[in-house]
Structure 1
């Protein structure tokens, strides 16, 4: 047998390599599914999950897109749109199918798809073990945003969008036009769809840095693609309004400094993320990895947005590895897929490649079994920190009526149970004009007269407060009676 034939037999075929790569990606998705199932309850800790599901349920029941607020008594009738209607409908359908278990199963499946896609795109340039290791690390680092809200449905989209656009730039070809359909989907799922314009812009800059002005026809296609992105995003029930409402958070929203996910990065509270940032930049410095100025700007942009608002941590941890994978694979051969392919392969890899279809079948069976087990053996419910279920049961049994003054975290559950809220998580459009800051001031020193004024202004008939709400002493001093209390919630009523 010739040396060439021996070499060909020693190096696995491209098909076997792709199959093995796919199995590695399935593995990482399965492990993520198992890990998330163990902590399924944590997915339902966000108070906004309640009203997100309720809006979706109401849409399914009425088939109408709301244009004014009908969920609060403080801003009833004010302009309000369900700009994330499709994400809310998906949550509602999952709830109808399996209750909160169904919602959790849908969120876990979406996160696993995101991790799978990230591992797949990383595995195009990096050895599989490194690709899945980075995918695991990224998934763990962004775990604080794993909540039952529509933004989760955009994570797979943003990974695909970023990977394919930067790949098109690297290959010096026009962006895939079908990606515009992702913009339409994204726009109807969540308000962060405007990020698609920005990412496309950075990918276009990366192309410009490569070809300068040598290919004007290609640049024209990219410019046309970029201009079409905001145009197709208007394929939305609310048209321009969906774009305009995204700017209410970015510019001058009084609730931003008061909501944890919108606050700036805090190293004392985000220690794992801080360590990951330092390790990454240490690696970039000592490896002398060469990256273009456009990608460098993209990294700076994602880091800036993350440091400004915690909720955008996924932009940095998901997208930066995907964008830099090609440079790492090309400039660090020991970490590349090519090096891994040409090395002597062990029996395990050959075993995986030869049994590709049975392994995929087993993976599907295991995922189905895990979801079925979750639905049949363990009922996941939101914490009483956001549900106040016992307190609401008391309110119902004692026929408490009138407008309620509630702690922020109880706004969602009130909406879900058909009780108009005083304040809730829809601060991107409502509870502005000084309302949120005034509500915050009622809990500070000297806030009693402000609270008293709010009670009169909004004709409050009872109050549902969290157990740690700082306004409780003021209610006592104002002569209100504590009618109910547990370790999660307190109910006050006027003293007759």
Structure 2
């Protein structure tokens, strides 16, 4: 073969390049699965995982959508809706299938799908090696939100939603109408579905900047699509109440400043994220990247939500790269997919293209085997930091009765085990009107009278506290008996 022929053969066809691109995306998803499997138990560290699964199990058993609280003794009968019912059912089905291992496997699979989708959309414009590096980095930066809760199921949806809407705006065409089905799905999975309204508004604004008023028919389609989003989101068991529940968190919820995921960004506690943010802004300052003011507003919006509430970290690190990938590729051609497709392929890329089907088949087999082996290799269970397993076994064996006063982190496990809580993770709708604030104050200086009043008002028969809870000394002062203690939990009972 001549040197000219060899050089030509090193440049793949479009089909081979797309195959190599797909394998790159599958590879990063598989590597993500391996990384998450190594720390599988970390997805069960959130105390809310317990009650999320329990609500789903109760729905499967009763086939009814709750409208009032039946899980606490402090707010029993108060209005409460399971606005994330579909996500809770998915968790419950996974639990029924394979206990907590099933829950973890489902969460890992969803995260890997998200990483694959992000890599795929990025590699539509950027060369695959850069795309998968960005996808993996973003996935690592948002890892604190990888918990067994319904919000994880919305991550693939929000990536698809954002990528396709901004693509439609860039190509000056109507938004894909089938995306409205994603809004319906999202509205039944998690309360963040209202973000879909905001994202479509930013994409529409990007279109308006491009066409101004020169295409009124196209703009009318976008307006119609935007108006349909909140309308189709009402296709959930609770209708408009689901939207109202979102705003009760965003405005005036006394529990927000007290819950870690709702706290503002703290550079001292989020050092990797801070380093990446500084790197991004340094790059923007020294580069000539132009993104237009509509997309700039979207970046500012995503950053604002992240800096205001840690739980929205994914809005910035997942969506901003997807939105800006096209400008990076167009203004820096050396980083683009187009340049990569015309370059000579190295040995690895040629191997990916030629062995496309075997590699895809092997990846599916390995992924399936990994998930199947997850249960046989180890039984994953939530940490006693949230389960209080031994403490609850003691409470059951000693037949402790009456209303319990519990630390916040044990609310979920109490619900799961059928014990009505004093407080739990449903503070988006319950434990308001000064209750959560008083609960917090009872553990600080001068909190003894507050705690004493709570014990009397709610007829507390026993207390289940996290080890190190600041109220331990107050129970001692009030003459309560420490009936049980370990490194995770303490149980107090009245000294009678």
Moved over 4 A (4+): 1-10
Q: Deviations over 1:30-61 (max 9, x none)?
A: 00000000000100000000000000000000
Match of 2:204 in 1: 204
- 1:372 is the counterpart of 2:372: yes
State how 1:399-418 maps to structure 2 within 5 Å.
399-418=399-418
Q: Distance in 1 between matches of 2:146 and 2:485?
A: 30
**Deviation larger for 56-65 or 12-21:** 12-21
SS of the aligned residue for 2:490 comes to strand
1:11 positional shift: 3.0
CA, structure 1 residues 407+211, in 2 after alignment: closer, same or farther (shift >3 Å)? same
Match of 1:438 in 2: 438
Match of 2:308 in 1: 308
The question of whether the paired residues in 1 share the 8 Å contact of 2:7 and 2:344 is answered with no
State how 1:79-90 maps to structure 2 within 5 Å.
79-90=79-90
1:288 positional shift: 1.2
**Deviation larger for 341-350 or 142-151:** 341-350
1:348 positional shift: 2.1
SS of the aligned residue for 2:482 comes to strand
1:181 positional shift: 0.2
Match of 1:395 in 2: 395
Please list every run of 5 or more consecutive structure 1 residues that lacks an aligned counterpart in the other structure: none
1:356 positional shift: 0.7
Q: Distance in 2 between matches of 1:488 and 1:267?
A: 29
Match of 2:451 in 1: 451
Give TM-score scaled by structure 2 length: 0.99
CA, structure 1 residues 173+476, in 2 after alignment: closer, same or farther (shift >3 Å)? same
Q: Deviations over 1:361-411 (max 9, x none)?
A: 000010011111101110011000000000000000000000000000000
CA, structure 1 residues 8+170, in 2 after alignment: closer, same or farther (shift >3 Å)? farther
Match of 1:461 in 2: 461
Matched length: 496
SS of the aligned residue for 2:421 comes to coil
Q: Distance in 1 between matches of 2:419 and 2:440?
A: 22
State how 1:56-455 maps to structure 2 within 5 Å.
56-455=56-455
Match of 2:478 in 1: 478
Q: Distance in 2 between matches of 1:4 and 1:372?
A: 49
Q: Distance in 2 between matches of 1:447 and 1:313?
A: 34
Q: Distance in 2 between matches of 1:5 and 1:354?
A: 18
CA, structure 1 residues 480+304, in 2 after alignment: closer, same or farther (shift >3 Å)? same
SS of the aligned residue for 1:400 comes to coil
1:339 positional shift: 1.0
Root mean square deviation, CA, Å: 1.3
Q: Distance in 1 between matches of 2:18 and 2:91?
A: 34
Please list every run of 5 or more consecutive structure 2 residues that lacks an aligned counterpart in the other structure: none
SS of the aligned residue for 2:120 comes to helix
Q: Distance in 1 between matches of 2:275 and 2:154?
A: 26
- 1:22 is the counterpart of 2:4: no
1:5 positional shift: 8.6
**Deviation larger for 374-383 or 189-198:** 374-383
1:20 positional shift: 0.5
Q: Distance in 2 between matches of 1:110 and 1:193?
A: 17
SS of the aligned residue for 1:405 comes to strand
SS of the aligned residue for 1:204 comes to helix
Q: Distance in 2 between matches of 1:202 and 1:8?
A: 44
1:6 positional shift: 8.4
Give TM-score scaled by structure 1 length: 0.99
Q: Deviations over 1:120-154 (max 9, x none)?
A: 00001111110000001000000000000000000
- 1:46 is the counterpart of 2:54: no
Q: Distance in 2 between matches of 1:415 and 1:327?
A: 49
The question of whether the paired residues in 1 share the 8 Å contact of 2:391 and 2:489 is answered with yes
Q: Distance in 2 between matches of 1:175 and 1:476?
A: 63
SS of the aligned residue for 1:245 comes to helix
Q: Distance in 1 between matches of 2:352 and 2:435?
A: 60
SS of the aligned residue for 1:246 comes to helix
Q: Distance in 2 between matches of 1:3 and 1:200?
A: 51
1:3 positional shift: 12
Q: Distance in 2 between matches of 1:242 and 1:227?
A: 17
Q: Distance in 1 between matches of 2:468 and 2:240?
A: 41
SS of the aligned residue for 2:405 comes to strand
Q: Deviations over 1:68-107 (max 9, x none)?
A: 0000000000000000000000000000000000000000
Q: Distance in 1 between matches of 2:318 and 2:104?
A: 22
1:12 positional shift: 1.5
Q: Deviations over 1:325-381 (max 9, x none)?
A: 000011001111111111111222122111111100000010011111101110011
